[in-house]
Copies of this chain bind each other. A is one copy, B any other.
């Protein structure tokens, strides 16, 4: 049994509500309010539901009664006849990845102003866990936001079939999504690197199932040659600090002088590992991260990175989900290259 109130005597006496078995008071219902105000329950429902349609005095009386009794609607009970729970779900791959801080905040705030509460779940970078999370959350919510889902198109389409779905940084036919346009930031980064004499760069790639990873690599593949630069993909084991550290061997083998990473975590991991082995950044190696998470500016040198407006992304996803904005009209958020100190002139050969 969970912890219950310390002493229920006083409370019970004061507000005259039948106590439940747990010792906590039973909730006040519209029936209580109705009796207190001398009207019928349905009138109470109306007065509280949509404050427009009745005599102002009556409405006022009911509101007073409700306030006096401390009435609060029971979301579950309301959800049954209406089918709407006023709850939205957000599923991210990894709680501890700082990218999601601002995204979650943006989503939660947008949901809040829309009168909805957020339920959060984590998919731990695995398709199966993601599927479980979706199944657990789905019956509870009016709609679902999946951030960078790892499920395949088919699975996502199946989900979209019976629950409103918005994807972040993933595009699937006939499913609403909110994406960032990585081209601006990426080309700015490439220009910056080229101006510093880097002719050959490496892309530290992200999860194979990640759509946005493929997207980033694709744009690089388009834009680098256009600038007369070579670009190679360098695999990482996971999109974390450890993944970045592990990649150093392959980075050195590749012989590139500059890198763009799938995310800041990988970039920072590599940065630190490089320094640990005596390399100078940016003297020997220039590194560009992605996202501009908390921590990117804390390293020495500060991490040059491509900033993604995460908060705006989370907010936009909710807006699309609740229909406040048409997915068609929603235009991709722009990315921006943030120059710090982890990038500099290429070492002389």
Where the two chains meet, the residues of A that have a C-beta atom closer than 8 Å to any C-beta of B are: 1-8, 11, 20, 24-25, 27, 72-77, 79-80, 83, 85, 87, 95-96, 98, 101-102, 104-105, 108-109, 112, 117-122, 131, 135-140, 142-143, 154-155, 157-166, 173-176, 268, 272, 294-295, 298-300, 320-323, 327
Question: Can you name 19 extra interface pairs (CB under 8 A) apart from A117-B137, A294-B294?
Answer: A2-B322, A5-B158, A5-B161, A6-B157, A6-B173, A6-B175, A7-B174, A72-B138, A76-B79, A76-B85, A76-B139, A76-B140, A80-B80, A95-B102, A95-B108, A98-B294, A112-B136, A118-B121, A299-B300
Residues of B within 8 A of A139 (CB): 27, 72-76
* Contact between chains at B95 and A104 (CB < 8 Å): yes
Residues of B within 8 A of A299 (CB): 298-300
Residues of B within 8 A of A119 (CB): 87, 117-120
Nearest B residue (CB) for A95:
B105
Q: Which of A24, A295, A300 has the most CB of B within 10 A?
A: A295
Distance of A104 from chain B, by nearest CB (Å): 5
* Contact between chains at A176 and B11 (CB < 8 Å): no
Nearest B residue (CB) for A176:
B3
* Contact between chains at A162 and B6 (CB < 8 Å): no
A5-B176 Cα distance, complex, nearest whole Å: 9
Q: List 14 A-B contacts (CB under 8 A).
A: A2-B142, A3-B164, A3-B176, A4-B161, A24-B162, A25-B161, A27-B139, A95-B105, A96-B101, A96-B294, A117-B119, A117-B121, A268-B298, A298-B298
* Contact between chains at B300 and A3 (CB < 8 Å): no
* Contact between chains at A117 and B140 (CB < 8 Å): yes
Q: Which of A85, A120, A138, A272 has the most CB of B within 10 A?
A: A120
| A102 with B108, Cβ < 8 A, contacts A2-B322, A85-B76, A155-B2 known | no
Nearest B residue (CB) for A173:
B6
* Contact between chains at A77 and B74 (CB < 8 Å): no
* Contact between chains at A163 and B3 (CB < 8 Å): no
A166-B138 Cα distance, complex, nearest whole Å: 27
* Contact between chains at A2 and B300 (CB < 8 Å): no
* Contact between chains at B105 and A101 (CB < 8 Å): no
Q: Which one of B20, B25, B105, B165 lies within 8 Å of A96 (CB-CB)? A: B105
Q: Which one of B3, B120, B137, B176 lies within 8 Å of A321 (CB-CB)? A: B3
A73-B76 Cα distance, complex, nearest whole Å: 14
A232-B290 Cα distance, complex, nearest whole Å: 41
Distance of A2 from chain B, by nearest CB (Å): 4
Residues of B within 8 A of A27 (CB): 139, 162
A4-B135 Cα distance, complex, nearest whole Å: 12
Residues of B within 8 A of A142 (CB): 2
A292-B87 Cα distance, complex, nearest whole Å: 33
Nearest B residue (CB) for A295:
B295
User: What are the 4 A-B residue pairs with the smallest beta carbon separation, nearest first?
Assistant: A6-B174, A300-B300, A3-B176, A76-B79
Q: Which one of B6, B72, B157, B294 lies within 8 Å of A158 (CB-CB)? A: B6
